[in-house]
Structure 1
Amino acid sequence: MVVTHPHTAAVDDRRRLPVPLLVGLLRRFAVLAGVNLGLLALLVFGLLGRGAGLGTLLAFGLYLVVNAVLLWGLIRNYPHARLGLCNIVTHFRATLIAGLAAVLPNVAAVAGDPFLAWSVVAIATIALACDGIDGWAARRAGLISRFGARFDMEVDSVLALILARIVMQMGKVGEWVILLGIMRYLFVVATWVFPWLNRSTPARFSGKVMCVIQIAALTALIAPVVSGGTALLIAAGALAGVVWSFGVDIRYLWKTRAA
């Protein structure tokens, strides 16, 4: 698992693959993308049926963007000749998240249909449970790369953003809950204003734990059985933890800015 902060250092030797190896890698990626495209179709139409409408466009649009970015990254920066289980798992998670994007224009249906709400919770839980497997698999297979670490981090960030948007539209807590989804993006914007933020930070176990808590809390808030004071406590506690976690990194970057 990768923390939600955008500049945590990752291993990468930046070497380019020879063309024959790159062609083989891209063929395997095309197969993976095709298989998961079928999975995405099952998710979208299984969740929302023919009434998916705009949700269908969002889901498949997000899937297209993800795969276009991944294709570019594989060609430009990926140093290994095979994808490995690590990237297969992360691509699977990205597919699940694209399926969740279909819910965004249909949140009223989620709020009014417990079965649909629990389905969203189940998909988000699977996506979260698969997190950690990719990092473990990358280390075990010797496929660690900056590309893989960034891929995993962006998937986590998009998952948090989509879940936060769903929770906000459900109205269980105030609109401030969207901060649980946009905090990392606010940090990125801050790096444009304050260049000293635009540096790597040491990997922290506490940061990884907070990423899990953040997504788990957002998932729990969608569950029909969570409402009222319980929902408010979960959301506020998770936000406090995320703010603290970013604060730790910002404090480190401030103290080391001269270097």
Structure 2
Amino acid sequence: MSGDMSATFADRAAALHGARKAQGPLLRRFAIVVIVHLWLLAMLVYALLGFDPSAFWTGGALALVLYLAMNGVLWAGLVRHYPHADLGLCNLVTHFRATLTAALAALLPHIAALAADPLLAWGCVIIAAVALACDGIDGWAARRAGLASRFGARFDMEVDSLLALILALILWQSAKLGDWVLLLGVMRYLFVLAAWCLPWLNRPTPPRISAKLVCVIQIAALIALVSPVLSGAAATGLAAGVLALVIWSFGVDIRYLWQIRARCA
């Protein structure tokens, strides 16, 4: 009996050692991506804030902290949950989108400059629009290369959520709309918080094309609202309409999860 247990532990240890050894090249490639995109982040922050030392370092510090935190979580996720030996184009694109999102965070301490400088506002719009335009490429690339995974899907979803949150914070701080506009950025996080209190919300939901479409509309609307073009009643109407759409989409998922809970009760 003790011999069987020793063999089992030895097999598990050997399997764990083999898995870690196989992940070595993957993690080294990921580290290279992080370093390359760190340079991209620095260039984007410089392009947005210029060479004003106070603006560059305060905004840059926030962007850097966010970037490092994201990559710490990603590193842990790769080690524990990523099933493939190659990052692939799919995860490179998603990481590129995450880097663009972190760069936008550099604007949060400098909203007054954003409101006073239309060029800065358009710079924000362009970066966010590129991040949105690349959405969908990662999923297509993953399916094409056979690298689709729950890790990749979760990575993509969290980048979308973070992009929406940062755009909503920029919009809220600009005082273009009321405090309620924050709901356009925090709905996903409110749902996660509710799931901590109500475990039945943690069940998986079936993929919906309508949910993906609502996500794209939500981020596109936030980009339009951040731009200098929209203000006043037009901005309020667009934000309210999109918020109603987002609430409806979450309502569909909650209704589905409630029905599953009722069946299992």
| 1:214 partner letter | Q
Aligned counterparts, 1:104-253, within 5 A: 104-253=108-257
CA distance in 2 between partners of 1:142 and 1:150 (Å): 17
CA distance in 1 between partners of 2:109 and 2:20 (Å): 43
Counterpart check, 1:85 vs 2:89: yes
Q: CA deviation at 1:163?
A: 0.2
CA distance in 2 between partners of 1:19 and 1:252 (Å): 39
Q: CA deviation at 1:35?
A: 0.6
CA distance in 2 between partners of 1:26 and 1:88 (Å): 13
Q: CA deviation at 1:25?
A: 0.5
Larger Rg: 2
Q: CA deviation at 1:142?
A: 0.5
Q: CA deviation at 1:171?
A: 1.3
CA distance in 2 between partners of 1:146 and 1:177 (Å): 31
CA distance in 2 between partners of 1:38 and 1:67 (Å): 14
CA distance in 1 between partners of 2:96 and 2:207 (Å): 25
CA distance in 1 between partners of 2:239 and 2:116 (Å): 21
- Among 68, 71, 78, the alignment partner of 1:64 is 68
1:143-191 CA-to-partner distances (Å, cap 9, x unmatched) read: 0111111111110111000000000111111110000000011011111
So what's the TM-score if we normalise by structure 2?
Answer: 0.90
1:191-219 CA-to-partner distances (Å, cap 9, x unmatched) read: 12222111101100000000001100100
Q: CA deviation at 1:20?
A: 3.4
Runs of 4+ in structure 1 displaced over 6 angstroms?
none
Q: CA deviation at 1:30?
A: 1.0
CA distance in 2 between partners of 1:127 and 1:181 (Å): 16
Bigger RCO (CA 8 Å, 6+ sep): 1
| 1:127 partner letter | A
Unaligned runs of 5+ in 1: 1-14
Q: CA deviation at 1:68?
A: 0.7
| 1:40 partner letter | L
More helix by share: 2
Unaligned runs of 5+ in 2: 1-14
Q: CA deviation at 1:53?
A: 3.2
| 2:153 partner letter | A
Aligned counterparts, 1:3-82, within 5 A: 18-49=19-50, 50=53, 51-82=55-86
| 1:25 partner letter | L
CA distance in 1 between partners of 2:79 and 2:191 (Å): 28
CA distance in 2 between partners of 1:206 and 1:127 (Å): 20
- Backbone CA RMSD of aligned residues: 1.3
Q: CA deviation at 1:19?
A: 3.2
So what's the TM-score if we normalise by structure 1?
Answer: 0.92
Give % identity.
64
Total equivalences in the alignment: 245
